[in-house]
Amino acid sequence: MLFILIMGLAGFGLFLGNAAFCAGLPVKRWFILGALLGPVAYPLFNTHKHLAYKRCTKSFDASTEC
């Protein structure tokens, strides 16, 4: 039972790390959060992805880079 739990958390960490890579977010941070928290980290990831996208597209100032 413990093996299944550990493998499930590691799998979710890989999933969240891959999603972070595709979204341009820090991969190691999201992999660790996904491996520690499991599916609980997914809403937090979606919020951070949305905020990062909004931060990049809303700013029209030339001094701000994404």
Q: Where are the domains of the chain?
A: 2-58
What predicted TM-score, i.e. pTM, was given to this entire model? 0.79
**Tens-place pLDDT, residues 29-66:** 999 999 999 999 999 999 999 999 888 887 655 555 55
Provide the total of helices (H) and of strands (E) in the chain, helices listed first.
3, 0
Q: What is the pLDDT of residue 56?
A: 86
35 φ, ψ (degrees, to nearest 5): -70, -30
Which pLDDT tens digit goes with each residue over 4-15? 999 999 999 999
Closest CA to 46 of 20, 9, 8, 26: 20
pLDDT at 66: 59
pLDDT at 55: 87
